[in-house]
Amino acid sequence: MIYDIIAPQQLQANITPPASKSISNRALIIHALSGGNILPDNLSDCDDTDVILRIIDDLPETVDIKAAGTAMRFMTAYLSVMEGEHSITGTERMKHRPISVLVDALRYLGADITYEGEEGFPPLRIKGHTLEGGQLEIPGDISSQYISALLMIGPVLARGLELRMTGEIVSRPYIDLTLCTMREFGAEADWSDVDTVTVKPHPYTQKPYRIESDWSAASYWYEMMALTKDTEAVVNLTGLMDASKQGDSVVKYIFSLMGVKTAFESTQQGELTTVKLSHHRCMLPRLDYDFTGSPDLAQTVVVTCVLMGIHFHFTGLASLKIKETDRIEALKQELRKLGYAIQSHNDSELSWEGERCEPTFEPIDTYEDHRMALAFAPAALVLEHIKIRNPEVVSKSYPHYWDDLQVAGFRIIKQD
């Protein structure tokens, strides 16, 4: 399936982004560990969250998390402390995504985990039981999802958990998001040193909990506002919090440099806020930025910059190599189709000094990666239209994305 996406002349829309996938996934694991029967409200309807919800509700002997990397990490830790024996597996791509750092850490805490295939990769066989916990060291420059997975089981460990992260700590905002969500459910967990988190053995409490909207999903509307030629464009996004703990909320600061103004307005009920996006003049010739704390924004910002002619040097992108695809190589390959030759360095940096190449305007391949489709679709506002192959991948984090684009005036022509 290919979508040919045709941009509108004017951009005016009222959009409710999906609930935060990051918070939903954490809240569901914590909900399950609490033994609660009150599901969090406004859960994300994306694939990743649906997988976790289905598994904790049914807990089959063979747990298939499909392409959900977050679910693989979180459920591996969760199953390690739940009584019973389970196998956890996923797609072929998932079977080539490393998980040894998390498995080694859990084994150190006493978990019974064996590899059913290649050493260091899923599928895994897990015999769950109560773990003692205690002190543990783990590299800080790995995916924060490993760290979050360990922290969330901390309160149910007999001795709690003291987790020290060595070296550079990447994606610290996601660790803070985990700790914040844990504390919402009664956990005693916080940084006890600059590199150490201490979690006390204190059971989670059951409580009603509402998930806020997703700043990662909002980033694509910031991209559209930056790229549109409509100087009177306005997009209203409902349910986003100004003081959000989501790391990707930094998008409002990044895009303020690229001509997008953010204003927060409260609803009459006072419960939800609306973010109003509008234009201001952009004179930015170059952007240097470290994405260590918000790597999921990289594709959005890279595509925006080249289409606006903003030269850049982006660092802190090492985790992009082990996402749903190698996002660094995927960006280089697909942007060449649009006539832009970006460069990579040290498997963790991307740069562009205005280099161009002959465009082919072939359909953008998505590599089973939702963020490739999400980030490239707004390019239609500059190119007038763009073709996206396998557009259904957006279901992983933003299932109603194409519907929302049509609400905003985009036309989508489906091609086989």
365 DSSP assignment: P
Place of tokens 């460990």: 157
Dump pLDDT digits (tens) for 266-316. 765 556 789 999 988 888 999 999 998 898 999 999 999 999 999 999 999
pLDDT at 271: 61
Residue 204 belongs to a domain: no
Residue 66 belongs to a domain: yes
pLDDT at 283: 85
- What pLDDT band is residue 324 in, cutting at 50, 70 and 90? confident
pLDDT at 325: 81
Q: Are residues 82 and 94 in the same domain?
A: yes
Residue 14 belongs to a domain: yes
CATH number of the domain enclosing 147:
3.65.10.10
Residue 186, token pair as written in the block: 């009664």
Q: Are residues 89 and 179 in the same domain?
A: yes
Query: Where a domain ends, among 199, 233, 261?
Result: 199
Percent of the chain at pLDDT above 90?
84
> Bridge partners of 414?
3
Tell me which residue of 262, 230, 259 sits closest to 249, measured CA to CA. 262
**Domains identified in the chain, total number:** 2
pLDDT at 321: 79
Q: Are residues 14 and 25 in the same domain?
A: no
Q: Are residues 6 and 27 in the same domain?
A: no
- Beta-carbon-side half-sphere exposure of residue 260 (alpha carbons within 13 Å): 29
Query: Where a domain ends, among 167, 199, 231?
Result: 199
Residue 205 belongs to a domain: no
Residue 407 belongs to a domain: yes
3-class DSSP state of 252: helix
Q: Are residues 379 and 391 in the same domain?
A: yes
Told to judge if 41 belongs to the known catalytic residues of this protein, a careful annotator would answer no
Q: Are residues 56 and 141 in the same domain?
A: yes
Residue 207 belongs to a domain: no
Residue 167 belongs to a domain: yes
Q: In which element (H, E) is residue 305 found?
A: helix 298-308
Q: Are residues 278 and 189 in the same domain?
A: no
* Rounded average pLDDT over 316-320: 87
Q: Are residues 49 and 82 in the same domain?
A: yes
- Options 47, 48, 176, 296, the catalytic residue: 296
In terms of Cβ atoms closer than 10 Å to its own Cβ (0-12, 13-18, 19+), residue 416 is exposed
- Interhelix angle 100-108/144-153, rounded to 10 degrees, is 30
pLDDT at 86: 97
Query: Where a domain ends, among 172, 199, 226?
Result: 199
Q: Are residues 319 and 187 in the same domain?
A: no
The residue type found at 251 is: V
Dump pLDDT digits (tens) for 21-72. 999 999 999 999 998 888 999 999 888 899 999 999 889 999 999 988 899 9
Give me the numbers of helices (H) and strands (E) for the chain, helices first please: 13, 19
pLDDT at 243: 85
Q: Say yes or no to pLDDT of 190 above 60.
A: yes
Q: Are residues 189 and 219 in the same domain?
A: no
Q: Are residues 357 and 389 in the same domain?
A: yes
Q: Are residues 102 and 217 in the same domain?
A: no
Q: How many CB atoms neighbour CB 58 within 10 A? A: 8
Q: Which range marks the domain in which residue 291 is found?
A: 2-18+213-415
95 DSSP assignment: G
